[in-house]
Amino acid sequence: MKALLALCLFIAAPLVFAGETAATVKGVVLETLNSGGYTYLRLKTKEGETWAAVNRAQVAKGAEVTIESAMVMENFESKSLKKTFPKIVFGAVAGAGKLAPGAGLPVGRTGANKPVEVADVAVPKAVGANARTVAEIVTRGAELKDKPVQVRGKVVKYNSGILGRNWVHLRDGSGSAADGSNDVLVTTASHAKPGDVVTASGTVRINKDFGAGYAYKVMIEEASLQP
């Protein structure tokens, strides 16, 4: 797998996090690095040295720590550190609060992946021959496979610099939360923030698997975002 993105990670709904897992990782802290709201720990374990990433924490060198809810990622590239980790464990320091699977992946901006309130979202459909609602794209993925689409919606989640792209979740008020048809994932080089209303123009892809647990039934790739 090529350089990976953070999954982020708290990239939600359609995400299936299927990376290599381990219940806990225990070790002695040899080195710490703080970046982007996260603390990276170089640990000495019984199996050898390994890196771990957790939410920003005060951890002293020489301390013995346990990483819970551990998820192993390979070839992870940290943009903020300008460093690629051949293997790194994402999780939470025991006693500091557990993370949901995939929730510990660093993002480009602290808090950028926090969902906005979308209970009353209602965004008019984009205009044009390729215009679709979020629900149409999600439920008609097979029909729209590899075809260009335009969709207008509110940004409810945003993660930057993951796998060399930005990850945006859009909702427009269509679809149902029960089956996930109310939310579509878009990858783009454009920037946005939660709460923005944008028109995404890109290509529908289905059954995409980026490795390390990033797998999606329907998504939009290589999109441009316009206000």
Q: Which domains does the chain have, with CATH numbers?
A: 20-93 (2.40.50.140), 134-226 (2.40.50.140)
In the chain, DSSP assigns E strands to 20-35, 38-45, 48-55, 64-78, 83-93, 148-162, 165-171, 184-188, 197-209, 215-226
Distance CA 46, CA 61 (A): 17
Distance CA 227, CA 200 (A): 9
- 3-class secondary-structure state, position 139: helix
Q: Within the chain, which residues score under 70 in pLDDT?
A: 1-23, 36-37, 69, 95-120, 163-164, 210-214
**pTM more than 0.85:** no
Distance CA 28, CA 97 (A): 20
Which pLDDT belongs to residue 5? 38
Which pLDDT belongs to residue 23? 60
Which pLDDT belongs to residue 36? 66
137: left (phi over 0), alpha (psi -120 to 50) or beta: alpha
Which pLDDT belongs to residue 163? 65
Which pLDDT belongs to residue 114? 45
